[in-house]
Amino acid sequence: MRIVYGVELILLVDAFLYLSGASGSGISCYRCWGDSCQDENFEPLTSATEEGCAQCYKVKSTYETYVSTLRGCSSSDIGTNQCTTMTSFGADVIACYCNGDLCNGASSPLIRGLSLYISLTFWHALLN
User: What are the pLDDT digits (tens) for 79-100?
Assistant: 778 899 999 999 999 999 999 9
Query: Could you tell me the residue range of the domain that residue 71 belongs to?
Result: 2-127
Cα 128 to Cα 116: distance, rounded to the nearest angstrom: 18
Domains: count for the chain: 1
Distances (CA, A) of 24 to 33, 51, 54, 118: 24, 8, 9, 40
pTM value surpassing 0.85? no
Q: What's the pLDDT at 126?
A: 61
Q: If you average pLDDT over every residue of the chain, what do you get? A: 76
Decide: 116 and 107 in contact? Cβ < 8 Å. Answer: no
Give me the sign of the Cα torsion angle 34, 37, 42, 48.
Answer: positive
Judged against a pLDDT cut of 90, whether residue 114 lies above it is answered with no
Q: What's the pLDDT at 80?
A: 74
- CATH number for the domain spanning 39: value is 2.10.60.10
